[in-house]
């Protein structure tokens, strides 16, 4: 049987890794797929051939990506150039030409996935995107197929390795955010412009995809609440540890009574949770299903070969299904296309969670009572209080409060009132808390 012919867009880190995996493991992959798989046409503006094992086996390499998607001999297009454009145009053109698509582009899927999947369904082709979320961890297959018997209750994930590395270093060594970010950039974990990583945009792209898979709703990136870690201070990391918590930059999606929560933000979680002990650049995703309970998926969330592992696995899946009736394939977003619902995504003000508050209070009688009174009037119950001694010559003290669960709107009102009171100096630091129990 003739090998399946692949067109590859991009020969950077993941593209080069995909060439290496496909050539290095060609025999094993063919045994699994039932046919050989060959990259016959690739496009890249810049690449370093000496760093890519197996690149000599590609028949043709040019800088014209549209020539690849228009190549009549190509059966499957792998899109690894990233970004929104021209990736969107290339993917849609490949679909129009009747080609299956494999992509690692989380931004593309999160923003344009609805239109891309509709086009693919109309043409009877597949779009596979396992590598778009959590690198080499097969989390999309787990949610879409392995947990198909479950009613998913919630997903919480460390899905950006850069942010996790920064918070791990801040906790273990008491370092400042800016110092660790500079090291992450030197090590190649963070880009020169780290905004997508540290402000949560990258994680929000991935969470948008996970939320859609879990709850059968259209992709809605614009409704995902996003808060970064750039304002986290070492003292908050230390105070959290004293109270038995660790701060992680989590993506959380949960089925609530009146809608779906979709949020990315720094989160205090109990130190005893397995996910709280995922450090460095590693990723982990915790999924709670009604039948199976909590399940944890851990591994490398980025890198050439880990991400290529997911890319090539998608290629194998597509090859296995090439002769399958399109109506009998695994749906792109886990649920049949006509079964997606319009369940609303909740604004952050409607989300209910517990909170960590750090208040810089004047060291005088009555201040704590005033703060407690404001919280009580807003229906907020205090779980724990920790007050530090003032430093020599200081007139203020850090006051740490942990609250029970309450709607964010009530907490917003309480914080505004606390900050306006006479006994408080500066802004109140607010971090959300989750127990993530089974």
The chain-wide mean pLDDT, for the chain, equals 95
* 228 neighbors 349 (Cβ within 8 angstroms): no
Distance CA 203, CA 285 (A): 12
* pLDDT tens readout for residues 353-364: 999 999 999 988
286 is in an annotated binding site: no
Q: Kindly state whether residues 296 and 309 are assigned to the same domain.
A: no
Q: Kindly state whether residues 243 and 201 are assigned to the same domain.
A: yes
Q: Kindly state whether residues 145 and 290 are assigned to the same domain.
A: yes
Q: Kindly state whether residues 122 and 205 are assigned to the same domain.
A: no
Question: What pLDDT shows up at residue 277?
Answer: 97
224 is in an annotated binding site: no
User: Given pLDDT bands bounded at 50, 70 and 90, which one contains residue 395?
Assistant: confident
Q: Kindly state whether residues 148 and 286 are assigned to the same domain.
A: yes
Please indicate, yes or no, if residue 408 is contained in any of the structural domains: yes
14 is in an annotated binding site: yes
Please indicate, yes or no, if residue 438 is contained in any of the structural domains: no
Q: Kindly state whether residues 148 and 285 are assigned to the same domain.
A: yes
Q: Kindly state whether residues 252 and 387 are assigned to the same domain.
A: no
299 is in an annotated binding site: no
Q: Kindly state whether residues 314 and 236 are assigned to the same domain.
A: no
Span 207-226, average pLDDT? 98
Question: What pLDDT shows up at residue 365?
Answer: 87
Q: Exactly one of 206, 288, 386, 388 is catalytic; which is it?
A: 206
- CATH number, domain with residue 312: 3.40.50.720
Please indicate, yes or no, if residue 94 is contained in any of the structural domains: yes
431 is in an annotated binding site: no
Q: Pick the last residue of a domain from 314, 339, 364.
A: 339
Give percent of the chain with pLDDT exceeding 90: 91
Span 209-231, average pLDDT? 98
- CATH number, domain with residue 367: 3.30.70.260
Please indicate, yes or no, if residue 346 is contained in any of the structural domains: no
Q: Kindly state whether residues 82 and 170 are assigned to the same domain.
A: no
* pLDDT tens readout for residues 141-158: 999 999 999 999 999 999
Distance CA 47, CA 304 (A): 14
Distances (CA, A) of 285 to 158, 215, 351, 366, 415: 6, 16, 21, 44, 31
3-class SS letters over 244-288: CEEEEEEEEEEEECCEEEEEEEEEEEECCCHHHHCCCCEEEEEEE
- Cβ neighbours of residue 329 closer than 8 Å, sequence gap 6 or more: 126, 321
> 0.85 cut: is pTM over it?
yes
Q: Kindly state whether residues 207 and 104 are assigned to the same domain.
A: no
- pLDDT at 438 exceeding the cut of 90: no
Number of domains observed in the structure of the chain: 3
Q: How many Cβ atoms are within 10 Å of 67's Cβ, its own excluded? A: 14
3-class SS letters over 375-437: HHHCCCCEEEEEECCCCCCCCEEEEEEEECCEEHHHHHHHHHHHHHCCCECCCCEEEEECCCC
213 is in an annotated binding site: no
* pLDDT tens readout for residues 295-340: 999 999 999 999 999 999 999 999 999 877 787 788 999 898 989 9
Which domain range does residue 170 map to?
139-300
Give percent of the chain with pLDDT exceeding 70: 100
Please indicate, yes or no, if residue 285 is contained in any of the structural domains: yes
Q: Kindly state whether residues 98 and 149 are assigned to the same domain.
A: no
**Residue 386 is among the residues annotated as catalytic for this protein:** no
User: Given pLDDT bands bounded at 50, 70 and 90, which one contains residue 32?
Assistant: very high
Question: What pLDDT shows up at residue 326?
Answer: 83
User: Given pLDDT bands bounded at 50, 70 and 90, which one contains residue 61?
Assistant: very high
């Amino acid at each position: 049987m003739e090998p399946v012919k692949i067109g590859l867009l991009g020969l950077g880190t993941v593209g080069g890794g995909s060439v290496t995996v496909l050539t290095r493991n060609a025999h094993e992959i063919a045994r699994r797929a039932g046919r050989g798989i060959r990259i016959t046409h690739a496009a890249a503006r810049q690449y370093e051939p000496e760093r890519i094992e197996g690149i000599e086996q590609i028949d043709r390499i040019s800088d014209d990506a549209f020539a690849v998607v228009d190549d009549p001999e190509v059966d499957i297009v792998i899109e690894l150039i990233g970004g929104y454009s021209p990736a969107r145009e290339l993917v849609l053109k490949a679909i129009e030409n009747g080609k299956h698509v494999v992509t690692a582009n989380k931004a593309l899927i999160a923003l344009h996935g609805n239109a891309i999947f509709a086009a693919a369904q109309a043409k009877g082709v597949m779009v596979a995107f396992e590598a778009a979320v959590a690198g080499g961890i097969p989390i999309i297959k787990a949610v879409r197929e392995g947990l198909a018997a479950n009613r998913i209750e919630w997903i919480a994930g460390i899905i950006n390795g850069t942010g996790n590395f920064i918070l791990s270093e801040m906790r273990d060594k008491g370092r400042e955010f800016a110092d660790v970010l500079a090291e992450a950039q030197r090590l190649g974990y963070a880009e020169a412009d780290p905004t997508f990583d540290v402000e949560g945009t990258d994680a929000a792209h991935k969470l948008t995809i996970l939320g859609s898979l879990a709850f059968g709703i259209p992709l809605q990136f614009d409704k995902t609440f996003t808060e970064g870690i750039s304002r986290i201070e070492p003292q908050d990391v230390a105070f959290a540890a004293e109270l038995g918590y660790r701060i992680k930059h989590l993506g959380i999606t949960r089925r609530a009574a009146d809608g779906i929560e979709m949020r990315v933000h720094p989160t205090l979680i109990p130190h005893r949770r397995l996910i709280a002990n995922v450090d460095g650049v590693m990723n982990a995703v915790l999924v709670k299903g009604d039948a199976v309970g909590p399940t944890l998926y851990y591994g490398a969330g980025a890198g050439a070969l880990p991400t290529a592992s997911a890319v090539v696995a998608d290629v194998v899946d597509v090859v296995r299904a090439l002769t399958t009736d399109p109506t009998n394939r695994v749906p792109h977003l886990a649920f049949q296309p006509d079964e997606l619902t319009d369940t609303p995504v909740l604004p952050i003000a409607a989300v209910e969670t517990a909170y960590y508050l750090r208040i810089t209070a004047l060291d005088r009688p009555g201040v704590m009572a005033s703060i407690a009174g404001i919280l009580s009037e807003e229906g907020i119950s205090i779980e724990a209080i920790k007050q530090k001694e003032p430093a020599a010559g200081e007139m203020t003290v850090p006051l740490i409060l942990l609250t029970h669960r309450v709607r964010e709107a009530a907490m917003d009102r309480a914080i505004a009132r606390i900050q306006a009171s006479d006994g408080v100096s500066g802004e109140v630091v607010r971090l959300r808390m989750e127990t993530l129990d089974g």
